Chain A
Amino acid sequence: MVADVVGLLEMRGLTRRYGPITALDGLTFSVQAGQVVGFLGPNGAGKTTTMRAIFGLTDLDAGEVRWNGATVDQPARRRFGYMPEERGLYPGMLVGEQVAYMGRLHGLDATKAVTATKMWLERLGVADRWASKVDVLSHGNQQRVQLAAALVHEPELIVLDEPLSGLDPGGIDDIGAVLVERASAGCCVVFSSHQLDLVEDLCESVTIIDHGKLVASGRVDDLATSGARRLVVRLDGDRDASWARGLAGVTVSEVTGGAVRLVLDESVDSDVVLRAAMAAGRVTEFSFARRRLSEVFREALA
């Protein structure tokens, strides 16, 4: 698998302290190109600080960021694309000129910058806003322009801080599709999110951090199928899942909309659970479920 990888982003022992607060605590992980990687963690976990460190926007107390084996420097960063969380566009500048300007700053010549800008604005469905000022656009459209500004120079590495926050489902689908397409074109795509379960469909791999430390990392499939088994059981008329609470080796992880989500210890036979359920009422659903990323996170911390 490593053989055909063209890009490798490595964080090595990133440490950043703000006074008494440690934002990054020796964070080490790596991300390979050709896939969309979710960079997950609760608010304040250190995601933004890590992303800013990639672009040299924060001073590190220790550690370094490497791209393809070399310490990231200014010329390397010009081949990266960045979409910060607190969006960064000139409010009074025209959309098209703004995106083209970002392209120029990243080394495109004037003609290429205009061509690429047209292409990306079209791709993201905001081509008709070329001559609009940024501050008259809707939040969703500003986000699309922001993404165009991050992608216009065809970066090798794309880093996006909470790109999906505040978007409607259409926007999430559009931006998600672009990210997946970029990854399959060979780019390294890293995006952060604090909503762990929202991004499962979007990313192939995830890196989960908390308090500036790595919690879990790996392919979504591997993480979802590893760990204890999960059962989803739905009983007619059952609202509190009291029937399951006494079962040995069974933990109730959540009750939503009449369905109970159970985590089974290795020793537990699922037939025992089924019998207990049937004794409590009419069973309308009984299925094994994948482990969610939020569960991965919670269980890794436990």
Chain B
Amino acid sequence: MKPQFIIVAAVVVFAAIRLTLRQRGRRARAGAPSSSASSSASSSMSLEARRPSVLARLFGEVGLVAQREVRERIRGRVFQIGTIIILLVVVAAIVIPTLNKSKSQPDRVGVVGALSATLKSTLNQSVVSIGDTMTIVPEADTAAADADLRAGRVDIVIVDTKQLIVKAAPSAADVSTAAQLSRVFATTLGTIAAFQAAGLSAAQVDTLGSAKPLPVTSLQPSTTHRKPSPGSIVSLILVFIMLTQYSTWILTGVAEEKSSRVVEVLLAALRPAQLLAGKVLGIGLVALTQATLIVGVALGLSSAVGSNLLHGSGPLTVLAALLWLILGYGFYCWMYAAAGSTVERQEQIQSLAFPLSIPLTVGYIVSLITASTGRPTTFLKILAYLPPTAPFAMPTLVSLGSATWWQFAISVVLSIVSTFAVARLATSVYRRAILRTGRRVRIREVMSAKQTA
């Protein structure tokens, strides 16, 4: 199933690049802006000039706007501190579970005296039943075994198949390796001893020792749900934080330009659509940079410490989250920009931010609950196809293995199509509202202005 996901993601990226290039080509034919130059000035002031402005060359005026946005945002304290905090959280989320987890090394069982092959394989099976493996460490005598146990070189000691020694007496609720080992070993060894005392042959003891529980058939088909992966929960939280952060930047950025009247000067040189596209592109690039950094650190660190993020659905979850962060940003940024253009004063931003954040929050919470219970509900499955909530719901389905590649693809296509529709609508609202001052612009006015203006 996995390769299909990757193919879908690659196709999306490829299509986006093709589209951008084609638009660029059209602009270039219409009359390209002058080329940028390399600088000769050497004062600190000309730093700006020396930096090759890739964005400006790629996208003309839109690139200039985006470039300013990237520079101002990356320089800002919000971005720098925010990135550091997120990275710390990610590092903690990856490293801490690997510390708690009984290292993937086998459990070390110290053995004083001989251990029959039958007993060895029976013990082995019981260790496998608690999800571990074991190695036998032969001990010379009880004193040496005690010393090894104290020093932590072995987890448990079996003395002549008659006695079990652990470092500290485990309580009933203890789930540490030593406690689990002592429980299963005590039962197994006791049972085997009873079989032997009953005078059974070695073969009979072997048969009884390797008894397997009966398979249980249920009348209702079993729903396949996986163990919730911490990776999917962390990436859900990050996607939510970043989507909220960057769409709020769009909202406040547009509103700031309008209320400070900078927009008057900018629109004397730019078309509204160029200014808007530049802002969306610039903040989007900042978001993508931050996300790439986080994913890079997460994957690199995971492979370094052997986290389970790289196993099972882990990498897929991360890639799906990254793709949906981009799609989610694409969808929401236009709505927030349109809303920002109707603001007259900065304090009106608050009253707009709340209703806009509702679909985002609903998608997030429903997905978070699903990710932690591991049971996708029908409601979540519906949300996974709605562009406002899909950025959370679809990656959750993917991480639970409950989405096929074509379901994923349908949701991606729906999101892209609706993003184009929202972008068109938002640009038209923005164009009409951004220069209106005096009071807050009502959406209905902006829509109906089409006929009268």
Contact = CB atoms under 8 A, between A and B. Distances in A.
B39 interface: yes
Interface residues of A, number: 42
Interface in B225-281: 256-257, 260-271
A111 interface: yes
Category for how many chain B residues contact A? 35 or more
A109 interface: yes
Contacts of B265: 82-84, 88-89, 102, 149-150
Contact of B260 (A55, A83, A90, A114): A90
A143 to B, nearest CB: 13
B139 interface: no
Nearest to B35: A109
Nearest to B61: A105
A90 B262 contact: yes
Contacts of B174: none
B261 A86 contact: yes
Interface string B268-297: 111100000000000000000000000000
A5 interface: no
Interface of A: 52, 55-59, 74-75, 77-78, 80, 82-84, 86-93, 96-97, 100-102, 104-107, 109-115, 118, 130, 149-150
Interface string B55-92: 01000010011001001100000000000000000000
A82 B265 CA distance: 7
Contacts of A118: 45
B34 A109 contact: yes
Given A88-B262, A110-B51, A114-B45, 8 more contacts: A55-B264, A56-B267, A84-B265, A91-B260, A100-B48, A104-B64, A107-B34, A109-B37
Contact of A114 (B38, B48, B266): B48
A115 B50 CA distance: 12
Given A97-B48, A100-B48, A118-B45, A57 B264 contact: yes
A107 B34 CA distance: 7
Nearest to A83: B265
A104 B49 CA distance: 11
Nearest to B437: A86
B56 A104 contact: yes
B312 interface: no
A96 B71 CA distance: 14
Contact of A105 (B31, B71, B72, B270): B270
Contacts of B261: 84, 86-88
